[in-house]
Amino acid sequence: MITKFARTAILAGVFAVVPPIAFAADEAGCAAEWAQADANKDGVIAGPEADRYIAYIRIRAQAEPTDGRITQDAFMRACRGDVFKARPTDPGAPLKGANSFTAAQAKDRAVAAGYRDIAPLTKDADGIWRGAARKDADTVNIAIDFKGNVVSQ
């Protein structure tokens, strides 16, 4: 079945394949995320409020705030640049493979994925970092593979 768009494109003589357009986070979405992140409404996020966002900053190799605090302006710039955007988990994760992450880098991925109180991680023979962490009110076992997929098991 030919869609209306395809029929119009064919009639117009357009046969090029157009890839999907990737959009950065919009102002409203970033403002909503900021409102949620700044839980105490003091105009900066720091400590536990900032842990997840600072982990994303390290993962994306961005300049980390030296004082551990993120201002609203810095947060909004990073948000619009998709620094805080989670990438989808690969099917079948955790995936076996040579893992070059350090334990600290693996932990950053878990923190960015919303886990906290992460116990020391150990890398198994399949190259997967494993440990326990808290998500919401539950303690779960987590695994972080060489691609950065974080899954609970």
In this predicted model, what pLDDT tens digit does every residue of 3-25 receive, in sequence order?
443 333 333 333 333 333 345 78
Same domain for 76 and 31: yes
List helix spans (H) across 12-153: 27-37, 48-59, 72-80, 103-112
The residue among 149, 153, 121, 129 whose CA lies nearest residue 139 is: 153
Going by C-alpha positions, the residue among 127, 84, 134 that lies closest to residue 106 is: 127
* Structural domain harbouring 54: 27-80
Indicate whether 41 and 74 sit together in one domain.
Answer: yes
Q: Is 47 left (phi over 0), alpha (psi -120 to 50) or beta?
A: left
For 15, other C-beta atoms within 10 Å of its C-beta total 7
Q: Which of 60, 28, 66, 26 is nearest to 46 (CA)?
A: 66
74 and 117, same domain (yes or no):
no
Residue 10 lies in a domain: no
pTM: 0.81
Which run of H or of E encompasses 5? helix 4-11
- 15 assigned to some structural domain: no
The model's confidence at residue 87, banded by pLDDT at 50, 70 and 90, is very high
E strands of 84-128, at which residues? 122-123
The answer as to whether 142 is a domain residue is yes
**Residues 66 and 108 grouped into a single domain:** no
Do 107 and 146 share a domain, yes or no?
A: yes
**What are 60-81's pLDDT values in tens digits?**
999 999 999 999 999 999 999 9
Residue 47 has pLDDT above 80, yes or no: yes
Domain-terminating residue out of 65, 80, 95 = 80
Residue 85 lies in a domain: no
Number of folded domains in the chain? 2
Average pLDDT over residues 120-130: 98
Asked if the structure places residue 69 within a domain, the reply is: yes
Instruction: Residue 59: name the closest of 111, 120, 117 by CA.
Output: 111
Residue 145 maps to a domain:
yes
| Averaged pLDDT, 115-122 | 97
| 14 located within any domain | no
My answer on whether 32 and 74 are in the same domain is yes
Q: Does 21 reside within a domain?
A: no
What residues are paired with 129 via a beta bridge? Answer: 123, 144
